[in-house]
Amino acid sequence: MISCRLIQITRNRQGQPIRTERRIAGDALRIGRGAECAIHLPDHSVKLRHAVIRDTDAGTYYIEGDGTPVCVNGSFHEAAELVAGTRISIGPYELVAETAAGGAELVVSIELVRPHPQEENLLARAPVSLAATGLSKRQPAFWLGLLIALAFLLLPLVQTNSPSVRQALAALPLTPLQTWNPGPLLPGHQSFAAQCDKCHRQAFRAVPDAACTDCHRATSPHATPAAAADLRCAGCHRDHKGKDGMVRSDVPLCVSCHGDIKRRSVDSALADVHGFDADHPEFSVTFKSRPGDAGVRRVALSDKTALVEESGLKFSHKAHSGKVRRPSEPQKFQVMACADCHQPDSGGLRFKPVTMKEHCFDCHREEFDFNPPVDEHRLAHGSERAVVDMLEHYYLKKALREDTGRGGRVPVQQALVDAAARAGNTAAALTGDIGCGLCHETEPAGSGAGIPWKIRPLAITERWLPQARFAHDKHRAAKCTQCHELNRSRDSADVAIPDLQKCRECHGGEQGGNHKVASPCAACHAFHDAPRAQLTGK
């Protein structure tokens, strides 16, 4: 049976101990946090049953851990004897065995020497706001802004102004300066894509025309310098738009000047236009000039009296279309089509020139034969002189073979004189509707010539509308006669160029509409065609 004086030590504000005593007794004194323990230490770092104090037969006391060692005088022991001054640490408490005042009685003092610090507030254990986690708005904003300004503003600027930096960066797949490029260049310009200053010659200044004309030297201007003073190449030609962006072909561009052409060019002879389907003037054909003609002869298709071609040829389209008789074999018929004479050229825009040798001679060979034939001589085609030479040659040969009737041959000297006279007579008769005159218009020759007439120089118009780009191959779905009304034409003076009305049957304005082909100005007109050069008809 243990009898124990238990002294509870607390301290006042000055730190002086206040001792309160009570007596406990039992066979063994249990120490622990459990309520049933004689020495009750209500703290969670104390085990429910931490240790037990027992006595021995010899009258001494010892402490024994309940399953775990106990800290006695600073070291852990399964059990230890309690003598005066033995210090036992249990959790925050310190138990000290004191000298018994009355002999065998056990005296133990208990003091809370390591009180738990005030438990930290629930809020202090972890951040309760995003700001408290260290997340910042300013820092990422600053660095992101700085990074973008460096990479996309400063670096490109340094790159464009420093050749050495440009060279150093050239190998990169994407250089800083390229991030300024708003879009792909025209394929032809991509060879110098890295050199922005090839075109952008001055900072903060628009691309000058010289940047274009340095390479594009042959491009003709559209209008006189005075009329186009305020226009820039780049006004219409915008690069960095891929392969389609370069060429402006919109009607408003044309109408901005041609809608009121006098405002831009007071002495312009052109009519105002606002669109093909609106007020486009009637086409004017441009006849081919002859040497010595004064100026260009342009005639509106509506001016029927002036619309006369003076080609110098006599030709009937009616006689050369459909079922026709071959002049050389009148009993035979042949069906003739446009394409027999008019063969497209390699560009597909127009046709190869019609030539006598290729297109006429096959049927009209008889016109060139002599009757009776001598050594397959044939009338020459080329010049009046060649015709007369050939005739003299023919008559000379003929005379030299003829019998004089007096059993001898004509003397050569005589034959030469006769041949020249007969050739002159025959040649003089080849005008009108026979010989050369069958196809060619003739006019009186000067007095000194060998024959009294000469062939009128030819002026066959091949580009009727030189300001328009008409591609015949794009219109191949249509029959020729759908546009060219030539079936009834007997005269080569007839002009069979389709007029505005004919084109409008299929072609609408810029947007088309009404089942018509969309036809902006640029569908027919080229911007940089130098008009003056073309209007000469050469």
**Window contacting another protein (CB under 8 A); options: 211-219, 233-241, 274-282, 306-314:** 233-241
Is 71 a binder of another protein (CB under 8 A)?
no
Is 248 a binder of another protein (CB under 8 A)?
yes
C-alpha–C-alpha distance, residues 99 and 445, integer Å: 168
Compare residues 35 and 477 and give the one whose CB is closer to another protein.
35
Please state the closest distance from residue 301 (CB atom) to another protein, in A: 32
List the one residue out of 309, 312, 289 whose CA is nearest residue 439: 312
User: Which tokens in the block code for residue 235?
Assistant: 């006004």
Beta-strand ranges (E) seen in 337-484 are 442-444, 453-455
Compare residues 206 and 271 and give the one whose CB is closer to another protein.
206
Question: Contact at 8 Å (CB) between 230 and 244?
Answer: no
Compare residues 71 and 354 and give the one whose CB is closer to another protein.
71
Is 18 a binder of another protein (CB under 8 A)?
no
Mask of contacts with another protein, 393-422, x by CB under 8 A? ------------------------------
C-alpha–C-alpha distance, residues 191 and 185, integer Å: 10
Query: Taking CB under 8 A as the criterion, which residues in 342-381 touch another protein?
Result: none
Question: Contact at 8 Å (CB) between 528 and 220?
Answer: yes
Question: Contact at 8 Å (CB) between 301 and 499?
Answer: yes
Mask of contacts with another protein, 320-339, x by CB under 8 A? --------------------
Which residue among 91, 156, 466, 520 contacts another protein (CB under 8 A)?
Answer: 156
Compare residues 132 and 533 and give the one whose CB is closer to another protein.
132
Determine what percent of the chain falls in helix, strand and coil, rounding each to the nearest 5.
30, 20, 55
Query: Taking CB under 8 A as the criterion, which residues in 183-222 touch another protein?
Result: 183-184, 196, 200, 203-207
CA distances from 253 to 16, 247, 267, 297 (A): 105, 11, 21, 29
Residues 6+ apart with CB under 8 A from 356: 381, 439
Compare residues 165 and 497 and give the one whose CB is closer to another protein.
165
Which residue among 38, 194, 236, 497 contacts another protein (CB under 8 A)?
Answer: 236
Please state the closest distance from residue 90 (CB atom) to another protein, in A: 13
Which residue among 69, 92, 245, 344 contacts another protein (CB under 8 A)?
Answer: 245
Backbone φ and ψ of 259, nearest 5°: -70, -25
How many Cα atoms are found within 13 Å in the side-chain-facing hemisphere of 92?
13
Question: Contact at 8 Å (CB) between 223 and 265?
Answer: yes
C-alpha–C-alpha distance, residues 291 and 466, integer Å: 19
C-alpha–C-alpha distance, residues 418 and 436, integer Å: 23
**Window contacting another protein (CB under 8 A); options: 177-185, 257-265, 355-363, 523-531:** 177-185
Which residue among 34, 69, 344, 424 contacts another protein (CB under 8 A)?
Answer: 34
Give the max Cα distance, the chain. 202
Please state the closest distance from residue 350 (CB atom) to another protein, in A: 31
Backbone φ and ψ of 2, nearest 5°: -105, 135
Residue 269 CA, distance from chain mean position = 37
Mask of contacts with another protein, 114-153, x by CB under 8 A? -----x--xx-xxxxxxxxx-xxxx-xxx-xxx-xx--xx
Helices and strands counted in the chain (H then E): 13, 18
Which residue among 27, 230, 244, 433 contacts another protein (CB under 8 A)?
Answer: 244
Please state the closest distance from residue 227 (CB atom) to another protein, in A: 20
Please state the closest distance from residue 256 (CB atom) to another protein, in A: 10
**Window contacting another protein (CB under 8 A); options: 174-182, 288-296, 409-417, 463-471:** 174-182
Compare residues 156 and 537 and give the one whose CB is closer to another protein.
156
Mask of contacts with another protein, 35-64, x by CB under 8 A? x------xxx--xx----------------
Amino acid letter, 139: Q
Burial 463-485 (b: 16+ CB within 10 A, else e): bbbbbeebebeeeeeeebeebbe
User: Which tokens in the block code for residue 252?
Assistant: 């408003």
**Window contacting another protein (CB under 8 A); options: 178-186, 210-218, 362-370, 474-482:** 178-186
Please state the closest distance from residue 250 (CB atom) to another protein, in A: 6
User: Which tokens in the block code for residue 204?
Assistant: 């903060």
Q: How many positions of this chain bind another protein (CB under 8 A)?
A: 62
Question: Contact at 8 Å (CB) between 458 and 310?
Answer: no
User: Which tokens in the block code for residue 125?
Assistant: 């254990």
Beta-strand pair 70-72/51-55:
unpaired
Please state the closest distance from residue 463 (CB atom) to another protein, in A: 30
Residues 6+ apart with CB under 8 A from 204: none
Identify the bridge partners of residue 65 per DSSP, sorted by sequence position: 51
Please state the closest distance from residue 94 (CB atom) to another protein, in A: 20
Which residue among 60, 162, 167, 179 contacts another protein (CB under 8 A)?
Answer: 179
Compare residues 127 and 432 and give the one whose CB is closer to another protein.
127
**Window contacting another protein (CB under 8 A); options: 84-92, 246-254, 326-334, 528-536:** 246-254
Please state the closest distance from residue 195 (CB atom) to another protein, in A: 12
**Window contacting another protein (CB under 8 A); options: 241-249, 276-284, 352-360, 530-538:** 241-249
Beta-strand pair 297-300/284-287:
antiparallel
Helix axes 412-429, 384-401, angle to 10 degrees: 140
Q: Under the rule (CB under 8 A), what is the footprint of another protein?
A: 33-35, 42-44, 47-48, 119, 122-123, 125-133, 135-138, 140-142, 144-146, 148-149, 152-153, 156-157, 160, 174, 178-184, 196, 200, 203-207, 236, 238, 241, 244-246, 248, 250, 252-253
